[in-house]
Amino acid sequence: MELSYVYILASGFKHLYIGITTELEQRIQQHKNESDPDSFTARYNIKDLVYFERYSDIHTAIAREKQIKRWSRVKKIRLIVAQNPTWRDLSEDWHKPIEPFAEKNLTRLKSFHSI
């Protein structure tokens, strides 16, 4: 089964780009490396992955991409902010080493009321 992804990239000025791919990491890397210097994302420096959805059916992913593209800018921003309020680049930690679990680094709750 091949997964499909609908994704949204943003620039510092919050230009948005909505795309679809079956190879998310590879496609995001192409955007970041400006593989096509004449592309919309290269011209407007749109490189931050701010949102994505995963689908097991390519036809559902294509329909979702088309749906989001028809939305107003405000609705697209609401979608992003609901999942990623700081507009963090979700790909920034890819391929970085992961710290091993260490129980000593856990903090203890004083009570359940502090949650």
pLDDT in tens, 38-52: 888 888 889 999 999
Q: Is the model's pLDDT at 115 over the cut of 60? A: no
Q: Would you say 41 and 49 are in contact if contact means Cβ atoms under 8 Å apart?
A: no
Q: Taking the mean position of all CA atoms in its chain, how far away is CA 60?
A: 18
| Domains (range + CATH), the chain | 1-115 (3.40.1440.10)
Query: For the chain, what is the mean pLDDT?
Result: 88
How many other CB atoms are found less than 10 A from the CB of residue 38? 7
List the structure tokens of 44. 């407007």
pLDDT value at position 13? 67
User: Vertex 88, ends 65 and 71: CA angle to 5°?
Assistant: 25
Mean pLDDT of 58-73: 96
